[in-house]
Amino acid sequence: MPLDPRFRALPLSSLKVAPSLPQLKRSARLEDRALPLLTDLRFSPLVVASHRDGLGATLHVMLRAGVRMAFVSGPTGELVGMVSADVLQGERPVVRAMSDQVTHAELTLADVMTPLTHWEVSDMHHVRHAKVGDIVATMREHGLRYLLVTELQDGRVALRGLFSARRLEIALGQPIDDDLHAHSFAELEAVLAH
């Protein structure tokens, strides 16, 4: 393929010392624009697992991919739910195994995922102008650890990205809602007491 003369090769140099790896150290204030903290799914690692996959195997794939949330596909490959590493390692599998009288190893993603019909999403139109504080307020009000963002593409709703409570907490340097964690452990204690 002939190269257009407008393009020129960049200068290269040899390394004498091993370079350091980049560190994600993004700090934010509530007044800052939220868009830089959006995980844009067009450019980020993404895990899609089958609804029949086991919990341990899915968690392993997620950790290898460096993500803490995976989408779940149904029998024909359509999107049917999502699951987070926190859910896979939390009380939901324990409660489900106890209620179904099965072992943890017998559970599949279909047993513990958040089905698509329970997702609460925000449109990219609103997110474009949102502040970090707006995203935090939304997540607090709805008890979300992930806020999914959609966008209309070619007349169809498409997933565009997501906000992670964990990423926001790191950027802000503080938890966005202590009550979310305390509430889930209180629920587990109540179930185990009966």
Task: For 8-23, write each residue's pLDDT tens digit.
Answer: 888 888 888 888 876 6
Give the pLDDT confidence score for residue 122 in this predicted structure: 96
Q: What is the pTM of this model?
A: 0.75
Domains identified in the chain and CATH numbers: 35-193 (3.10.580.10)
Q: State which H helix or E strand residue 147 sits in.
A: strand 146-153
**Cβ atoms of 127 and 35 closer than 8 Å:** yes
Task: Give residues with Cβ within 8 angstroms of 134, minimum separation 6.
Answer: 34
Which residue would you say has higher pLDDT here, 10 or 24? Answer: 10
Cβ proximity of 188 and 91 under 8 Å? yes
The candidate with the shortest Cα–Cα distance to 162, out of 72, 65, 37, 57, is: 37
The string of pLDDT tens digits covering residues 175-192 is 987 654 444 444 445 544
Residue corresponding to tokens 């889930």: 184
Instruction: Give the start-end residues of each E strand in 52-134.
Output: 69-73, 79-84, 114-115, 121-123
Q: Give one word for 66, left, alpha or beta, with left for phi > 0 and alpha for psi -120 to 50.
A: left
Q: Which two tokens stand for residue 122?
A: 């925000």
The b-or-e profile of 158-180 (16+ CB within 10 A means b, else e) is: ebbbbbbbbbbebbbeeebbeeb
What's the pLDDT tens digit per position in 111-122? 999 999 999 899
pLDDT computed for residue 24 by the predictor: 59
